[in-house]
């Protein structure tokens, strides 16, 4: 077992700088083009990107917005979901999912995770349906699609909308189909560290339904159909032309980028297989795109392992340390500790290892060796 001092290296959690360096010429040229045209708001590359991204998702329409949060919110508003309505979503997700629901005035109804995939458990979803339920909002957490077929069947049975939170799953597939094309509408985020990231905030709504796309188009731009003609009350949630330009440049490389994440995950899986931790389970229906690579370790060892890795120069994260229902911001929902045992147990045990597109194999190997050295020194908890 190599000692950590022998060949120490720095492994960042994500590396946006080297990604930029690899496409600098194309991005710089594309940005210069926008500056020349100066079509900064809803310019040419916004519609170019919308077309390209819809096609990439194997869907009909895409409408660019200013964040993943806005994408979720505008879909809900397009469906007139608001006060008095309930939207069922995952207890185990990033808080933005729930915030988009409550921001519209609706109530986020949380359900626990499936212990194998950590995504929304369809069995729990059915139990949470009430007469006030308007939509189910599954999250493709960490890059792995939720089990959509049972969710879609429930939605059909109870006449509910299905809205995908695909903010961590650009390019992932469920039974061969792309995320973004699985429900009634989907929200993607282009936060810089996402699988497809802008150089600032950005997001998009993807749908096969012309009316939904048109509603979101109005809502993102002050409810304006023709300049200074306002059909409905809208917002300013437009995608910037500069960000769309960056995204146009990066989209053709997304599959390759996701491939490099999958390769890194395979190396981690292999090197960590015999250690006392759980590596992520890829569901039989999923082509996982590893936005995050999340392992589960004994609760009493997590902090020590994270500290040990930091000492080795390996950056890690926890996604997410406090479940939504235990956040002070969501006291109003009235959930107690213990309400979602899978999610809560998971929050105490998870650790996200370095993962980004083009992560060098040596970095993955080094991180895995450091984890092995930790268990060598500390036993299996
Ligand atoms: C990133 C993310 C969002 C929000 O996206 P922003 O672009 O940061 O607003 C929503 N849901 C999930 C699951 C996310 O990971």
- Ligand 1 atom closest to 291 (CA): 15
Decide whether any atom of ligand 1 lies within 6 Å of the 67 Cβ: yes
Beta strands in the chain, from DSSP E residues, in sequence order:
61-65, 86-90, 107-111, 133-137, 161-165, 173-174, 177-178, 185-189, 203-207, 224-226, 229-230, 286-287, 293-296, 350-353
Model confidence over 166-196: pLDDT tens digits? 999 999 999 999 999 999 999 999 999 999 9
Does the Cβ of 119 fall within 6 Å of ligand 1?
A: no
Supply the residue whose CA is at minimum distance from atom 12 of ligand 1: 167
Atom 10 of ligand 1: nearest residue by CA position: 96
User: To test the ligand 1 pocket, which listed residue (97, 142, 188, 200) has its Cβ within 8 A of the most ligand atoms?
Assistant: 97
pLDDT in the model for residue 4: 52
Nearest-CA residue for ligand 1 atom 2 is 167
Q: What is the mean pLDDT of each run of 10 residues along the chain (381 residues)?
A: 64 96 98 98 97 98 98 98 98 97 98 92 96 98 97 98 98 98 98 98 98 98 93 96 98 98 98 97 95 98 98 97 97 96 97 97 97 94 69
CA 112 – CA 36 distance, rounded (Å): 51
Instruction: Check if 66 has its Cβ closer than 6 Å to any atom of ligand 1.
Output: no
Closest ligand 1 atom to Cα of 194:
1
User: Tokens representing 16?
Assistant: 């946006």
The token pair at 375 is: 């268990």
pLDDT for the residue 5: 59
């Amino acid at each position: 077992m190599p000692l950590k001092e022998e060949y120490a290296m720095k492994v960042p959690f994500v590396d946006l700088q080297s990604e930029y360096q690899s496409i600098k010429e194309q991005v710089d040229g594309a940005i210069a083009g926008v500056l020349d045209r100066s079509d900064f708001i809803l310019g040419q590359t916004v519609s170019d990107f919308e077309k390209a991204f819809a096609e990439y998702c194997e869907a009909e329409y895409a409408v660019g917005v200013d964040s993943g949060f806005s994408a979720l919110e505008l879909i809900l508003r397009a469906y007139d979901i608001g006060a008095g309505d309930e939207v069922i979503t995952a207890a185990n997700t990033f808080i933005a999912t729930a915030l988009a629901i409550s921001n519209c005035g609706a109530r986020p109804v949380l359900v626990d995770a499936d212990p194998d995939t950590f995504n929304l458990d369809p069995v729990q979803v059915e139990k949470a349906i009430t007469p006030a339920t308007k939509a189910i909002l599954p999250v493709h957490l960490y890059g792995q699609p939720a089990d959509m077929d049972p969710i879609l069947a429930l939605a059909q049975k109870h006449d509910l909308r299905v809205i995908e939170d695909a903010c961590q799953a650009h390019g992932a597939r469920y039974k061969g189909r792309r995320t973004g094309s699985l429900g009634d509408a989907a929200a993607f985020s282009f936060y810089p560290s996402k699988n497809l990231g802008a150089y600032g905030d950005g997001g998009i709504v993807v749908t096969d339904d012309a009316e939904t796309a048109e509603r979101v188009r109005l809502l993102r731009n002050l409810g304006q159909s023709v300049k200074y003609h306002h059909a409905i009350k809208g917002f300013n949630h437009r995608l910037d032309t500069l960000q769309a330009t960056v995204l146009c440049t990066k989209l053709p490389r997304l599959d390759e980028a996701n491939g490099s994440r999958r390769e890194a995950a395979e190396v981690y899986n292999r090197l960590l297989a015999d250690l006392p931790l759980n590596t992520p389970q890829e569901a039989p229906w999923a082509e996982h795109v590893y936005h995050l690579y999340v392992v589960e370790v004994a609760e009493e060892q997590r902090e020590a392992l994270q500290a040990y890795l930091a000492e080795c120069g390996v950056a890690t994260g926890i996604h997410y340390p406090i479940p939504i229902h235990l956040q002070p911001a969501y006291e109003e929902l009235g959930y107690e500790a213990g309400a979602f045992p899978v999610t809560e147990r998971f929050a105490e045990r998870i650790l996200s290892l370095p993962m980004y597109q083009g992560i060098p194999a040596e970095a993955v190997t080094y991180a895995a060796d450091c984890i092995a050295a930790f268990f060598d020194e500390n036993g299996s908890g």
